Structure 1
């Protein structure tokens, strides 16, 4: 999948400059935009800066009113305070609904956002009036829940982002206090509905994926706490295995999504692919040291059976997606390597194995870097090429600072790096001589 899909609106606006300069005709610009499923004429009118400025303007109006009310809070009678807060919130939302139904949805969404900020401020101030601060996350929950109907009615990504971000904050606060938030899937379902039925939003997609990840991991912790009541909601080593399996499944889901013919699916697939790849490289860099492996070997693996059940279920879904995207062999090999490493750290108490696992991780980094360089040159994807080169350079720098095992092992790694980069250069020159270098 081409990463240029993430910049397609910038490309569409750039073609407008080409048309103005006489480089291409308007018909050619329309064809270029059509290749990436973008409306050329609509893209020229698209203004992210305008929407951001309007949104920030509404935000500062809300902050100004909240500050003004707060400065004179004690002088205002209690009944007037209560009635004023309710009237301000209800009035703003009614005005937003009126503007929205009159055919100006973007302005209506902005007013809905403003009304939701007033709603949150009202919850905080009313709680202060009646001294209702016993469990602070409850206020954030009601704020998120109050934003939810407007996000569903308008199917606005901005309103869904507001509700989803507040819900995620409520979720994190609840679990940090030892409580499990049962209603969090409601907000996940609402975000998914808006994502499927509303406008395209990469930010909402990423928020939804993060929310699902947190919910799955903490649901496992809650299940383990039921089995072991003295355990809290702190992350266990088994959570890491589940997280890696989730990212593997998500990466293959992105490739499956890329096979769809809709432009939205292809855009989301590109986003998922890029972020999963970055997660994989960061994880490999972290585990290119011996200390993380030693910590995992020392850790208490008290939930092996349930961990393996979840990992196996996720692996089955991943292999099915790999079969549909013709990546079964490579995915199967990667899962076998992952299973071997997981069995080693969860069953062995031999600390000396940490160095062996560290060396294997560094060779895996070399392999991933080489694969990215190959993909970058062969498929003309500059992001992959530079990401592969960067991963090899960072690995080389880390290994120079922290020598693996002995000097002979480090020298072998450096020779391997040199051979890989020189081979990539030769492959580049081969394509250049053929005239198809990206």
Structure 2
């Protein structure tokens, strides 16, 4: 069975084998035999992009047509139109899947859009009430089995986006409860990643979804004026640190490290402000202790070759520089020196990168 690789990867492999052939390490026949084990996926990916965009435009166009004539239809006609559209498009997709899989996939995308639109339209038509966010949850859950069977990364990423909107509505609605169903959905969706060979983009968005849930968990039940409010930020900070040491597959380490450093960077810098410790059990002055400890941690990560932490260190220095100098230095001088600090760190980062430090893409 041939392995599928990108066109750029195939060209690199061919170039390397050409070099070994010239060196006499392998024969021409061996080179061709090795290249024969691979096939390029670039063309099919381009076709898939075209079909996906086409499916989206067709779906939007048909939904626009239905919406423009919606007021003239009876409830029975509306309901039947939605059901027939979803079943019809998916049915045709199933029928042609064996001999035209790309077109079938396009029809499944259109069917998924119709399904989502149908949820909102039926809710409006029969005045079902309930929270608006539940429509996104039902849409996501309805598409999950299809995405699993099709092993479709794009559809799974779209489902994570729907669940992100679902969770975000808990923030906008000022809820004092959690989307507890996510405690079941998140593990299932991580298990699905094995089914799609641990897709890096999918894991990236899944991590964002999980972090969003963790933030909801941290802040839903804690009063902002409570003495333990700072513990919610510390909880997020520790999640960022934990992501750097979680044992994951080699191909996923870069994603976990980038997201982990960003999380501890943002939450760590927030915790260097005394305001967030003011009502805590530790007292406002504890921010100095935390800042020193965090500085040591950032330097530790820099020593390990993390360029991203140099940016965090730069931000940390700038934060204290502005805090200490803004009140007694001329404002123009504050910004000039601040800019010089950034330029200096930029030059340093570039030198470290050339020496072989981890780039942001490699972290």
> Does the pair score TM above 0.5?
yes
Contact kept, 8 Å, 1:285 with 1:365, in 2: the verdict is no
Mapped partners of 1:216, 1:284: distance in 2: 16
Contact kept, 8 Å, 1:13 with 1:44, in 2: the verdict is no
Q: Give 1:194 deviation, angstroms.
A: 1.9
Mapped partners of 1:397, 1:14: distance in 2: 45
The equivalent of 1:185 in structure 2 is: 183
Deviations 1:405-438 (A, max 9, x none): 999xx99xx99x99xx99x979x89x9xxxxxxx
Deviations 1:236-290 (A, max 9, x none): 432222222222222111xx32xxxxxxx22112221232233334444555xxx
Mapped partners of 2:315, 2:54: distance in 1: 42
The equivalent of 2:112 in structure 1 is: 116
Gapped runs of 5+ residues in structure 2? Answer: 357-363
Contact kept, 8 Å, 1:140 with 1:166, in 2: the verdict is yes
The equivalent of 1:161 in structure 2 is: 157
Q: Give 1:72 deviation, angstroms.
A: 1.4
Greater RCO, 1 or 2 (C-alpha within 8 Å, sep 6+)? 1
The equivalent of 1:271 in structure 2 is: 255
2:243 to 243, 250, 274: 250
1:55 to 52, 55, 58: 52
Mapped partners of 1:244, 1:286: distance in 2: 10
The equivalent of 2:212 in structure 1 is: 214
The equivalent of 2:133 in structure 1 is: 137
- Structure having the higher helix fraction is 1
Gapped runs of 5+ residues in structure 1? Answer: 1-7, 33-37, 258-264, 300-345, 376-383, 432-438
The equivalent of 1:280 in structure 2 is: 264
Contact kept, 8 Å, 1:92 with 1:115, in 2: the verdict is yes
The equivalent of 1:84 in structure 2 is: 81
The equivalent of 1:150 in structure 2 is: 146
The equivalent of 2:361 in structure 1 is: none
Mapped partners of 1:15, 1:353: distance in 2: 54
RMSD of aligned C-alpha atoms? 4.5
State the secondary structure of the residue aligned to 1:181.
coil
Counterparts in 2 of 1:95 and 1:189: CA distance versus 1, 3 Å:
farther
Q: TM-score, normalized by length of structure 1?
A: 0.61
Contact kept, 8 Å, 1:93 with 1:111, in 2: the verdict is yes
Mapped partners of 2:314, 2:282: distance in 1: 32
Q: Give 1:394 deviation, angstroms.
A: 4.9
The equivalent of 1:347 in structure 2 is: 281
User: Across the two proteins, how many residue pairs are aligned to each other?
Assistant: 327
Q: TM-score, normalized by length of structure 2?
A: 0.71
Q: Give 1:136 deviation, angstroms.
A: 1.4
Contact kept, 8 Å, 2:240 with 2:259, in 1: the verdict is no
State the secondary structure of the residue aligned to 1:68.
helix
Deviates more, 1:110-119 or 1:58-67: 110-119
The equivalent of 1:319 in structure 2 is: none
Q: Give 1:61 deviation, angstroms.
A: 0.7
